[in-house]
Amino acid sequence: MTPVTFRERSVEELDTQKVVNIGKATRRKTADRIKASAAYPPMEQMRDRAREIRLHTLANLSEYLEQFAGSVERAGGHVYFAADAAEANHYVSQLAADRGVRSIVKSKSMVTEEIGLNHHLESKGLDVVESDLGEFIVQISGDRPVHIISPVMHMDRYEVAELFAEVLGMEYSDDPVALNAAARRHLRSIFLGADMGISGVNFGVADTGTITTVTNEGNARLTTTTPRIHVAIMGMERLVPNAGDLMVMLEVLARSGTGQALTVYTNLMTGPRAFDEQDGPDELHVVILDNGRSKALASSSAEILACIRCGACLNVCPVFREAGGHAYGSVYPGPIGAVLTPALFGHDEWGDLPFASSLCGACKDACPIRIDIPSLLLEQRAESMNRRGGEFAWLKPGMAAYRRIATNPTLWRGFLAAGGVFGKATGDWLTKLPFQAGNWTSTRDLPAPATQSFHSWWKEHRG
Amino acid sequence: MERSEFLARVGTAQAAAILPDHPSEDPGQWVPDLPDVDLVGRFIEMAGKMAAEVHTAPVDDAVGELVERYGAGNYMSWDADRIDGLDRLPEGLRRITTETPRGAEGRAEHNAGYMDCQLGITGAEAAFAETGTIVVRSGPGQPRMASLVPLVHIAVLRKDRIFRSASHWAADPSARMSEGSNVVFITGPSKTADIESIVTLGVHGPKHLHIVLV
């Protein structure tokens, strides 16, 4: 049976080589981020600035969207507003049919994963090839991205070597240089022959209609230059007001995402190829996607839409490090995914994700926008409990009893004294608790309660 | 969905949104306060850290030396008059045409000519010292492809166009971010760390980046 909950999925991931690889890579990325941030003194000020820009934009989103769409059109691009995944997918496949498109090349984009665009286009008989090295490996292995920035963080080079030997017909080599060279050659001929290129959008600039992609490999530049049609899919929240704001976001994104001062190719595109230019796409289409975002915006978790998808919170999260990205079952894993997924796609299916957190707060600390992820996780938990109250009915009598004891000093002291007796009887660690409490001790031990409460100790010694 | 309907839905949502404190006006232009440095020195240092090689010899000499070093047989380039300080394009090499046909016909055949391009020569209209970045803009005689498909990219940069950071450049009236369909910030050669976080150069773009200062 296919696992349907975080708990079921995570059981399959724990202690595998996959999560060992993820653990290593996330620790390295975290160290790189901290180093890059410390190396640039204005970084903390830039984070404050970035937060202001993002929140201001969200609070005025409909005005900025209208301005952005007008700017894109003035620059010669087309704009389509898609209410949901189906509308966005239909627009792209219809455009491909109208223009006689046969082959499509894509650069890495989480929003296209979100709407299942590849699957949709393939069902219409179109060839779609992922061009980011990591996404290409995901595609040819039939896997799913495990991380929003590093899709094959869970694989080691030996797995990739076997895959390339089988799929690309190259001689077996586990040297990353040789693997890269084989992918470059294979993908280049696809780039040069593609009719349509599909990219995501890191940021859209409202006052100029500029869209940006950031990649280290250069695949987004090829995707948006060699084919005659460029389609950019953008989540509706990914705007900034102007060029000055964009610079702040770009520097903050690179340092937080990969620990780079700037990404190798920060690509700014305004409209299609101009009449006097030698290359670039003949047509530019920008698809602006809602798909649950207006619902999230109207909620108490609106702040989550300030996210710039750097992945820093995934890298520091103890749950992500141990369970990996696939345990979340969502395109968006980790702390951000545990808020975003139910906020966008509903609690009926995803209501357990906000519970996949120890609320340690490392995510809030790492977030370049200082999004209060722990508070948003609590908001989402409350929402889940409201909707799924029945399933957690067993908690209610226990919590009611606890409330009664904890709010009455006499009962509370008696409770503590009972704990002391219990502690005396069981030694330092409790390894097996009865009933629901056994959920805790089935995977870890619990320190036994002290034999004397602080309250009674204080009374004896200082009272 | 109709635009007006879409925007109305967003408008209703933002009115109901519970957001933390934020400014009601667009925060606007901002330039970080950084201590003074020698911009050229800082740029050379940071570009080097990003695995780019910086040259200070006269442009024609530097280009000639690189043609020889890589044994290049073909190249693509911006028009010579678009590159400051460049007197002549290299001789004895085949120049790959960059004028791409419009429409559905002939594009793939044209693009096929890029497959094994060895050298690309472009200008760079600005640079950021703090990150070792160059700014390359598309325009007439300035094809995007010349900085993207060759194995080796040579960019010629005027020293007086080095700014402290991306924000400093954006605040300058010369930045004109939306002029030309493409402005790209290039920081070192194409690279990936997708396989075991091991850095590998030359994924889809150039494997070698040379910046010639004039």
Domain range list for chain A: 40-291, 294-392, 396-461
Chain B neighbors of A51, CB-CB under 8 A: 22
A105 touches chain B (CB under 8 A): no
B16 touches chain A (CB under 8 A): yes
Per-residue H/E/C for A193-245: HCCEEEECCCEEECCCCEEEEEECCCHHHHHCCCCCEEEEEEECCCEECCHHH
Of A381, A214, A223, A246, the C-alpha closest to A300 is A381
Q: So what's the pLDDT on residue A433?
A: 79
Interface A–B counts its CB contacts (< 8 A) at 311
pLDDT score of A426 more than 80: no
Per-residue H/E/C for chain B: CCHHHHHHHHHHHHHHCCCCCCCCCCCCCCCCCCCCCCHHHHHHHHHHHCCCEEECCCHHHHHHHHHHHHCCCEEEECCHHHCCCCCCCCCCCEECCCCCCCCCCCHHHHHHCCCCCCEEEEEECEEECCCCEEEEECECCECCHHHCCCCEEEEEECHHHEECCHHHHHCCCCCCCCCCCEEEEECCCCEECCCCCCCEECCCCCCEEEEEEC
State the average pLDDT over residues B78-106: 93
* Cβ-defined contact of A25 to B197 (cutoff 8 Å): yes
Least confident of A118-127, A179-188, A257-266, B26-35: B26-35
Please give the structure tokens belonging to residue A201: 């959008």
Domain A40-291 in CATH: superfamily?
Answer: NagB/RpiA/CoA transferase-like (3.40.50.10420)
pLDDT score of A444 more than 60: yes
A262 touches chain B (CB under 8 A): yes
Task: Read off the pLDDT of residues A307-319 as tens digits, 9 standing for 90 and up.
Answer: 999 999 999 999 9
Amino acid at A80: Y
A119 CA: distance to closest CA in chain B (Å): 22
State the average pLDDT over residues A268-274: 98
CATH code, B50: 3.40.50.10420
| Residue B89 within a domain | yes
Q: Per-residue confidence at A392, pLDDT binned at 50, 70, 90?
A: low
- Partner A, chain B 33-62, Cβ-Cβ below 8 Å: 33-34, 46, 50
| Residue B204 within a domain | yes
Beta strands in A270-356, from DSSP E residues, in sequence order = 283-289
Chain B neighbors of A189, CB-CB under 8 A: 115
Domain interval for residue B123: 37-99+107-213
- Partner A, chain B 72-91, Cβ-Cβ below 8 Å: none
* Strand order, beta sheet including B119-124: B53-55, B208-213, B152-157, B119-124, B74-77, B94-95
* Cβ-defined contact of A264 to B205 (cutoff 8 Å): yes
| Residue B143 within a domain | yes
pLDDT mean across residues, chain A: 93
Please give the structure tokens belonging to residue A363: 């995510």
B140 touches chain A (CB under 8 A): yes
State the average pLDDT over residues A356-376: 97
State the average pLDDT over residues A85-95: 98
Q: Does domain A294-392 have CATH number 1.10.1060.10?
A: yes
Residues 6 or more apart from A195 whose CB is under 8 A from it? A96, A99, A100, A101, A102, A103, A104, A227, A228, A229, B104
Give me the phi and psi of A65, to 5 degrees please: -65, -45
What is the tally of structural domains in chain B?
1
Q: So what's the pLDDT on residue B196?
A: 85
> Is A173:A227 a contact under the CB 8 Å cutoff?
no
Of A214, A192, A217, A196, the C-alpha closest to A133 is A217
Which range in A164-173, A406-415, B5-14 is most confidently predicted, on average pLDDT? Answer: B5-14
B173 touches chain A (CB under 8 A): no
Q: So what's the pLDDT on residue B93?
A: 94
| Residue B182 within a domain | yes
- Partner B, chain A 395-454, Cβ-Cβ below 8 Å: none
pLDDT score of B3 more than 60: yes
Q: So what's the pLDDT on residue A103?
A: 95
How far is the C-alpha of B11 from the C-alpha of A278, rounded, in Å? Answer: 41
Q: Per-residue confidence at A425, pLDDT binned at 50, 70, 90?
A: low
pLDDT score of A297 more than 70: yes
Indicate the DSSP class of residue A343. Answer: H
| Residue B17 within a domain | no
Task: Read off the pLDDT of residues B118-164 as tens digits, 9 standing for 90 and up.
Answer: 999 999 999 999 999 999 999 999 999 999 999 999 999 999 999 99
B111 CA: distance to closest CA in chain A (Å): 5
Please give the structure tokens belonging to residue B195: 């396989």
State the average pLDDT over residues A9-20: 92
pLDDT score of A363 more than 70: yes
* Cβ-defined contact of A277 to B181 (cutoff 8 Å): yes
pLDDT score of A1 more than 60: no
B39 CA: distance to closest CA in chain A (Å): 16
